[in-house]
A and B are shown apart, each in its own frame.
Chain A
Amino acid sequence: MATKTEAPAASLSKEEILRYSRHLIMPEVGMEGQLKIKQAKVLCIGTGGLGAPLGLYLAAAGVGRIGLVDFDVVDSTNLQRQVLFGSKDVGTRKVEAAAARLHDLNPDIQIDTFETQLTSANAFELFKDYDIIVDGTDNFPTRYLVNDASVMMGKLNVYGSIFRFEGQITVFGAPDGPCYRCLYPEPPPPGLVPSCAEGGVLGVLPGIVGTIQAAEALKLIIGKGEPLIGRLLLFDALAMKFRELKLRKNPDCPVCGTHPTVRQLIDYAEFCGIRGEEAPSTVTNIPEIAPRELKTRLDRGDDIYVLDVREPHEYQICNINGHLIPLGELPQRVHELDSSKEIVAHCKSGKRSAQAVEFLQKAGFKKIHNLKGGILAWSDEVDPNVPKY
């Protein structure tokens, strides 16, 4: 009966030679490359859409030490794209479920889990034991944090990001290469670029981008091929086109330039114009009405104009018989509304409709309320037959 051999890192066991034979028989990898992979230490920030293929392919390749950083819990909406997890994992901590899956794929590697949010306070400590950082995160503050910490610690940062059908991949943090701030010195203000929950994402897109990130990490480890240093790869899944743009190192970059001015990790939430963590909430001076109150008033026959500011494809998922004027069209179609009538605006969760109410208030509408919590709250509090999405 075969027992697991305790081979020192500088060699491969017989089992490993068999497992990685398809790597070993290629001159570009060979024993030398596979040993480098075995000795490599890669930290994956995020175990979601990008982290799933990334973790799987790094584990499959035999990366000797993989760190996983994620503080989230698996929920059913993740399963459309986060293929590391299964239905049985819903409700489990992502790093736990991820480690279990990766260990099953490759029991011989070391997997470190960090169920924590990456912050300025812990970044250096988390990064220090790894050679390569892979950015699979989902928000701007963390991306700037990962970038700055990588540059300050001299670690390569394999960057990948996605939106709907498009992706971007590059490698930051190389000694003579650019960093994230060379590409984008400042983040967009909050509210301008939608998240996956609001903009949606084609499930396979992070699958493709995350796999490309894994490929780049492996190339950097074995030192073969042309890495995406100084190159921004743009991918459009709908057109199925790849394009490449040149990324230059900015000599005046505050983090990686010749005279860096940012030498310590900063408050990234503040840098990105965000104050703290919160659930979506309406601006305080937007008048609101709770779903149950709206229901009561509609049932008793009150003449209320229900304005739905979502998109047509959302209306098809579910609706409460509102009049559909998508938010983006409101300025041009405001004449369709009667300001003498009572209007209740709603969207999915209450954010877009709050903007609609604000806009209409400025346009002179006085009898206007925002449906608190949107159609999601209506489903929770009034009519569970209305599907949530």
Chain B
Amino acid sequence: MAVKVMIPTPLRAYAGKQETVEVQAGTVGEALSALTAKHSDLKKHLFSDDGRLRSFVNVYVNDEDIRYLQKDQTAVKAGDTISIVPSIAGGANRSRI
């Protein structure tokens, strides 16, 4: 199925500056694999070394959080939109290394 993946601003630099990427997939997991296959730099931002989705990144199918569906096994159908929503805080670099 052709699904759209919406790329949030902080990650667009790693997705060839695109706002959305179309992939072919039957599940969320397949869609994210297809996405990181096209844009390998995205992988380390989305997934930790053990292959799990980073906990400050949420993934939605349409408007539902996949953690409350079937996680990466959540099925997607043609025309669905997968949104990647990372944690943002704006502001200062005061409290960073």
Chain A residues proximal to chain B, CB less than 8 Å: 48-50, 137-143, 161-166, 168, 183-188, 190-199, 201, 206, 232, 234, 236, 239, 243-248, 250, 269, 272, 274-275, 277-278, 280, 328
Contact = CB atoms under 8 A, between A and B. Distances in A.
Interface string B53-67: 011101010011101
Contacts of A250: 67
Contacts of A274: 95-97
B73 to A, nearest CB: 18
A265 to B, nearest CB: 16
B89 A193 contact: yes
Contacts of A278: 97
B8 A166 contact: yes
Nearest to B92: A138
A194 B10 contact: yes
Given A198-B93, A236-B9, A272-B95, 13 more contacts: A49-B90, A139-B92, A139-B95, A161-B89, A161-B90, A166-B88, A187-B56, A195-B92, A243-B63, A245-B60, A245-B64, A250-B67, A328-B14
Nearest to A198: B93
B13 interface: yes
Contacts of B51: none
Contacts of B92: 138-139, 195-197
A165 B88 CA distance: 12
A275 B56 contact: no
A49 B91 contact: yes
A162 B56 contact: no
Nearest to B14: A328
A93 to B, nearest CB: 16
Contacts of B83: 234, 243, 245
Interface in B37-65: 41, 45, 54-56, 58, 60, 63-65
Interface in B9-36: 9-10, 13-14, 19
B10 A248 contact: no
A248 B66 CA distance: 11
A184 B13 contact: no
A192 B55 CA distance: 13
Contact of A165 (B9, B89, B93, B96): B9
Contacts of B67: 250
A193 B9 CA distance: 11
B94 to A, nearest CB: 6
Contacts of A168: 85, 88
Contacts of B55: 184-186
Given A164-B9, A188-B56, A328-B13, A193 B86 contact: yes
A356 B90 CA distance: 24
A250 B67 CA distance: 10
Contact of A191 (B60, B94, B97): B97
Contacts of B58: 183-184
A187 B87 contact: yes
A186 to B, nearest CB: 4
A246 B45 CA distance: 23
Contacts of B86: 188, 193
Contacts of B19: 239
Contact of B65 (A139, A197, A246, A272): A246
Contacts of B95: 139-142, 269, 272, 274, 277
B69 to A, nearest CB: 11
A184 B56 contact: yes
A21 B96 CA distance: 47
A186 B87 CA distance: 9
Nearest to A244: B63
20 contacts: A139-B91, A139-B92, A139-B94, A139-B95, A141-B95, A161-B88, A163-B89, A184-B56, A186-B55, A187-B56, A190-B96, A190-B97, A193-B10, A239-B19, A245-B65, A246-B65, A247-B65, A274-B95, A274-B96, A277-B95
B53 to A, nearest CB: 12
